[in-house]
Amino acid sequence: MKKVLIKNGTIVTATDEFKGDLLLADGKIAAIGGAIDASSADEVYDAEGKYVMPGGVDQHTHFDFSFGDTTCVGWEGSPAAVVSGTTTIIDFVNQKVGSSLKSSIDEYQKNKVDGNACCDYGYHGVVYDANDALFEEIEHMPEYGVTSLKLFMAYRGQPYHCDDDAVLKALQASKKSGVTIMVHAESADMIATLQKQVAASGVTGPIGHALSRPPVVEEEAVSRAAYLAELAAAPIYIVHVTAKGAMEVIRDRYEKGVAIFGETCTHYLTITTDALEKPGFEGAKAVCSPALRSQDHLDAMWEAVKKGWLNAISSDHCGFNYETHKHAGYGEGKTFADIPNGAPGLENRIPVVWTEGVEKGKISRKKFVELIATNPAKINGLFPQKGTLAVGSDADVVIWDPTYKGTISIENSLQGCDYCAFEGFDQIGRADKVFLRGELVADAGKYVGEKGSGKFVPGKPYGLCYELA
């Protein structure tokens, strides 16, 4: 394999920032330092005036996810990750009812991922059939490289809804093998009641989604999750935190010794409930769960990621199309509850967080790398193979051009969806060059890699949440 030298850039990791060179060889980072001899390289890239950072790790995506009778866009949209600087994703794989997690993941790999993935990837299991066999399997998950498991506390009446009994038993089982339990924390009962009441009041459009899922439904479920984790004496991870009160529960209970942690997502930092009130049915594009919040909650999320109360920023990419999917909630007899929950965001996470976070002084460059690459790698047992620039790490490298200015638009999107959740957002900076295991896979916003070149990366147990517990 050829040797690649990246010269004269400013290298940024979660802990350091310095001017230096980077030598890539045999898919790994071979050397880091000043003035590496260019004669040792087959290709040389000058990164003068640019930042050299590790490829991003997005720990929260949903490809081929079903909501009701609709299924969102699949792995054909994975080039969108690469062009924005994300080189590894951790995708949620739903357990098939009556099947084991492993068999469900194996089937998903064979039918959906093989030949399509353009970035490296790992998996989280998702519980659809909470029974004794499932709880016994948790102990064996690390044997096939999957070290995290998600349970939905929301969605009463759906096969993936899990009650407190299931969450507690999963937590108790997880400690035996270092599996990290993740939960979607919203009160299913509160939501079910409010959905009926809001619709009965005559509000059936997209704004009803937020009215039926106010911040308190999230805060209550996060509080309950904290008690369950305390009882089990096991770490718990809250995905997509949106509400100030929910974040404060995580912060305060952790300070009291409970091993509770959480992430937020790009849209919960940048888009308010106003998006749900767009004319016609346009607001359906912004229906995601938990619901979007008001500006004070967005401000609280920025404070939380800056101060480490939440430790990662994910996309929660779920590419439901507007015309073919979102309209399941439009028409006579339909309400906001019928709109598929989720929005595309895989290719927007890194540029939006850089533009709204780093460029506006809300987070530093090192904190940026920590949130979008290093911590997600650590949480999922991929560090230091992924998420950092170190000798021996995978040569997943982004040369970031901070001088680029543009506008985010569906016109140049590779996500495979018919709309963009961040349409019209200003963008400062972009991934000028992206390398995946030493191979150039994106060049100035264009995907130049080979379809299906992504590889499964097995996670190791006892990730960051166990270390911080």
> What was the pLDDT predicted at 345?
96
Q: 347 near 413, Cβ under 8 Å?
A: yes
Provide the pLDDT confidence category of residue 469 given band limits of 50, 70 and 90: very high
Report the CATH number at residue 101: 3.20.20.140
Does residue 189 sit within a domain?
yes
Distance set, CA 325 to CA 119, 213, 271, 284 (Å): 26, 21, 21, 10
Does residue 408 sit within a domain?
no
Number of domains comprising the chain:
1
Does residue 448 sit within a domain?
no
Residue 222 has pLDDT above 80, yes or no: yes
Q: Which of 1-5, 95-99, 383-387 is predicted with the least confidence, judged by mean pLDDT?
A: 1-5
Q: What percent of the chain has pLDDT over 70?
A: 100
Does residue 464 sit within a domain?
no
> What was the pLDDT predicted at 40?
82
The torsion defined by the Cα of 284, 286, 292 and 295, in degrees rounded to 10, comes to -120
Q: Rounded to whole angstroms, how far apart are CA atoms 449 and 443? A: 9
Mean of pLDDT values over 394-407: 98
> What was the pLDDT predicted at 250?
98
> What was the pLDDT predicted at 1?
73
Q: 121 near 456, Cβ under 8 Å?
A: yes
Instruction: Count the neighbouring beta carbons within 10 Å of the beta carbon of residue 394.
Output: 27
> What was the pLDDT predicted at 69?
80
456 exposed, middle or buried (CB, 10 Å; 0-12, 13-18, 19+)? middle
Residue 257 has pLDDT above 80, yes or no: yes
Report the sign of the C-alpha dihedral through residues 21, 88, 56, 389, in that order: negative
Q: Helical H runs in 159-201?
A: 164-174, 188-200
What DSSP assignment string belongs to 229-288? Answer: HHHHT--EEE-S---HHHHHHHHHHHHTT--EEE-EEHHHHH-BGGGGG-TTTGGGGG--
Instruction: List 317's β-bridge partners, or say none.
Output: 61, 343
Q: Rounded to whole angstroms, how far apart are CA atoms 434 and 148? A: 28
Beta strands in 333-425 (DSSP E): 397-407
Write out the two tokens for 371.
Answer: 């949130």
Does residue 286 sit within a domain?
yes
Does residue 418 sit within a domain?
no
CB half-sphere exposure, 360, CA atoms < 13 A: 15
Domain containing residue 352: 55-380
Q: What confidence tens digit (pLDDT) does each residue in 418-442 have?
A: 999 999 999 999 999 999 999 999 9
Q: Rounded to whole angstroms, how far apart are CA atoms 385 and 407? A: 33
Mean per-residue pLDDT over the chain, rounded: 97
> What was the pLDDT predicted at 143?
98
Radius of gyration of the chain (CA): 21
What SS3 class is residue 293?
A: strand
> What was the pLDDT predicted at 68?
76
Q: Rounded to whole angstroms, how far apart are CA atoms 70 and 401? A: 38
Q: What confidence tens digit (pLDDT) does each residue in 34-68 have?
A: 889 988 899 999 999 999 999 999 999 999 988 87
Q: Is the pTM of this model over 0.95?
A: yes
Q: Rounded to whole angstroms, how far apart are CA atoms 272 and 300? A: 13
Does residue 455 sit within a domain?
no
Does residue 11 sit within a domain?
no
Mean of pLDDT values over 306-322: 97
> What was the pLDDT predicted at 184?
98
What DSSP assignment string belongs to 83-97? Answer: HHTEEEEEEEEEPPT
Write out the two tokens for 48.
Answer: 């003068």
Q: Rounded to whole angstroms, how far apart are CA atoms 180 and 166? A: 15
Mean of pLDDT values over 369-394: 98
Q: What confidence tens digit (pLDDT) does each residue in 111-129 have?
A: 999 999 999 999 999 999 9
Instruction: List 426's β-bridge partners, or say none.
Output: 407
